[in-house]
Amino acid sequence: MENSTRAPFWGPQTSYLNFCEEDYIVTRYIAEFINTLSSLVYVIYGIHGLVQLRHEKNAGSRAIAYCGLMGVGICSAGYHMTLKYHTQMSDELSMHLLTTPLVYRILSFQTSPQHSRTVGIILALLFTVVMVVHMVMDEFLLHATTFGMAVYLIATRTLKIIPREIPDPATRKRIQTVALFGCASFIFGYLVWLVDNWACRVLTTTRRSVGLPLAFFLELHGWWHVFTAIGGYIAVAVIDLITSGEVRKDSAERLAWPLPAVARLAGAEAGLKKEA
């Protein structure tokens, strides 16, 4: 695995972050091939969500979060494909464009119009401040911290709302298991991201030794995309189900792979405990 001798189509890197995948290995048109390809997992999950909404009420407003999920994938793919500063900014902006509506939806759920309006104004101001500071000052810590806080708030609030809003024990168990699986996917993806940074030299040497296509499986930043796409999709889907009041007994079965299998496993475990 050696870098392409052909000149990169997008020119020199201007982004201030680059990842462990070697640049322009497969083609001169894509800087980080696997990181770009794996970003499309977000898009696939977003499309699945939109398809499931076709016949639901208030589908237009509920589609915003799924479009945000697709936006993360498109912007991430653009960033890894070009390694340009402006595409990096769009990638990081898209992360907040996904989490901010989700935070608003769970914080304004079953509250007064005045409270919802106040929450919306505060979140809009915070979003504007974070992104202006981040883009003008090239400041990464504020972006990472606020995104992490948003993810934590989404996870904890959602897990608290589920028992209150789903009275049926079996359905509640399945949705809780799916939500916890989403948390675990996101955490595992983050750990994989850390390993990709810490062990980059070892990973690069190993990839060169095994060669293509096996080397693709050791592109850990790509796996970060896959696992966080699963976690992000679960967050969007579960929050949409709860806040729209559309939770049904078969709701988990209508979610994208691998969530129906996760839900069935939770149901089987609950059945075994009941028999015991």
Which residues contribute to the annotated binding site for Zn(2+)? 80, 221, 225
Pure H helices in the chain: 33-52, 59-82, 85-107, 113-137, 141-165, 169-198, 200-210, 220-244, 259-275
Angle in degrees, CA 208, 213, 219, rounded to 5 = 65
State the amino acid at position 73 in one-letter form: G
Contacts 24+ apart (CB under 8 A), 266-273: 266/173, 266/174, 266/176, 266/177, 266/178, 267/170, 267/173, 267/174, 270/169, 270/170, 270/173
Q: Is the peptide bond before 12 cis (omega within 30 degrees of 0)?
A: no
Q: Which residues are annotated as a binding site for Ca(2+)?
A: 21, 32
* Cα–Cα distance, 85 to 184 (Å, whole number): 31
The torsion angles phi and psi of 185, rounded to 5 degrees, stand at -65, -45
Q: Which residues are annotated as a binding site?
A: 21, 32, 80, 221, 225
